[in-house]
Amino acid sequence: MKYSFHYLLMAEHSTLQKELLSRLRGTGLTIGQPKVLDYLQDHDGASQKDIAAGCHIEAGTLTSLLNRMEESGLVERRILNGNRRSYHIFMTEKGKQLLNIVTETFKGLEEEAFLGIPVEDRIKFMDLFFQIYENMRNCRITD
């Protein structure tokens, strides 16, 4: 049976999310939170708008995620430069500790996903997959 690109992409994403949450069971992290911590690793102190764009999630969804993460002590919102309309998000020490677990879990999942695939093929796949990502990112939806 042949599978379409969109089917494999959706199925892999679903499989990866389930396995990720299974491996992170006991940390208290829920769907979406590992992605936010991963983004903050390189963008600690980012605005909510930048996090939403960087994680490819809607602003309302991010607000809910951040509320739960703040309640759990993973992140804190701060006002910078007196601008009360824009909060910046910083990881707490607890968030940074969980980020280490998330990072190692992502690495393990990636190694398993590429098991048995030569390094040269991995590189080629990632280059092609990035091109697909860029193509989709540049699509324009018209009303």
Q: Does domain 16-114 have CATH number 1.10.10.10?
A: yes
Residue 143: the pLDDT is 43
Prediction pTM value = 0.86
Instruction: Report d(CA 8, CA 13) in Å as an integer.
Output: 8
Residues forming a β-bridge with 79? 87
- pLDDT, one tens digit per residue, over 61-101 is 999 999 999 999 999 999 887 777 788 999 999 999 999 99
